[in-house]
């Protein structure tokens, strides 16, 4: 076997490895799942999945003050990404910007009444899709382990 044949062989082995397959599965499943949710939300509620994630945080505790910085960190977006996202959401009257008492650099974001109403409808759609493609396919006993494993992964990623 000449050098390039050996390299091809090595490459084929690497490409077929267990780890590569498994990891690909995680990414693919998550991507497809998100596309599914996104399509459903856009079609039925005229919000993107990203906007929905913002609304979750704004509706969870209506009294809590949430800055753009906080949202950016939560959604793993850059600050400029958040600026533009909130621009669009403000344009759609889902959300309102306001000054942060005690720090004039910061901008606070809160849901409008309309935003909360949309969120409520969107949450129903979300629940339906998640139930069908995330909860149902996983056997009951495995569900708890799955979320625990994901929590561990997330923790490892945050810690470093």
Partner DNA sequence: AGAGAATCGTTGACTGCTCAGCAATTGATT
Partner DNA sequence: AATCAATTGCTGAGCAGTCAACGATTCTCT
Residue 147 and residue 93: Cα distance in Å, rounded?
34
Binding site for DNA (CB under 7 A): 48, 50, 67-69, 72, 76-88, 97, 102-107
**Binding flag, residue 156, a second copy (CB under 8 A):** yes
Phi/psi of residue 17, nearest 5 degrees: -65, 150
The residue (of 101 and 140) whose beta carbon lies closer to a second copy is 140
The residue (of 103 and 149) whose beta carbon lies closer to a second copy is 149
Contact 141, 90 (CB under 8 A): no
The residue (of 56 and 138) whose beta carbon lies closer to DNA is 56
**Binding flag, residue 39, a second copy (CB under 8 A):** no
In total, the chain counts a number of residues equal to 160
Contact 133, 33 (CB under 8 A): yes
Count of residues interacting with a second copy (CB under 8 A): 70
Residue 84 CA neighbour count, 13 Å, CB half: 4
> Which of DNA, a second copy, none is residue 107 near (CB under 5 to 8 Å by kind)?
DNA
Residue 152 CA neighbour count, 13 Å, CB half: 6
**Binding flag, residue 135, a second copy (CB under 8 A):** yes
Element (H, E) at 66: strand 66-67
Binding site for a second copy (CB under 8 A): 4, 7-8, 10-12, 14-17, 19-20, 22-36, 53, 55-57, 59-62, 76, 113, 116-117, 119-120, 123, 126-127, 130-139, 142-143, 145-158
């Amino acid at each position: 076997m000449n050098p390039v044949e050996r390299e091809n062989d090595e490459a084929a082995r690497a490409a077929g490895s267990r780890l590569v397959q498994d990891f690909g599965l995680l990414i693919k499943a998550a991507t497809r799942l998100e596309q599914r949710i996104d399509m459903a939300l856009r079609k039925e509620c005229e919000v993107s999945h990203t906007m929905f994630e913002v609304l979750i945080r704004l509706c969870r505790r209506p009294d809590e003050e949430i800055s753009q910085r906080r949202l950016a960190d939560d959604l793993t977006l850059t600050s400029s990404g958040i600026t533009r996202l909130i621009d669009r959401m403000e344009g759609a009257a889902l959300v309102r910007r306001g000054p942060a008492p005690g720090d004039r650099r910061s901008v606070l974001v809160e849901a409008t009444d309309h935003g909360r109403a949309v969120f409520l409808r969107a949450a129903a759609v979300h629940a339906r899709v998640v139930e069908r493609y995330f909860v149902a396919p996983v056997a009951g006993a495995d569900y708890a382990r799955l979320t625990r494993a994901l929590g561990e992964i997330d923790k490892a990623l945050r810690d470093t």
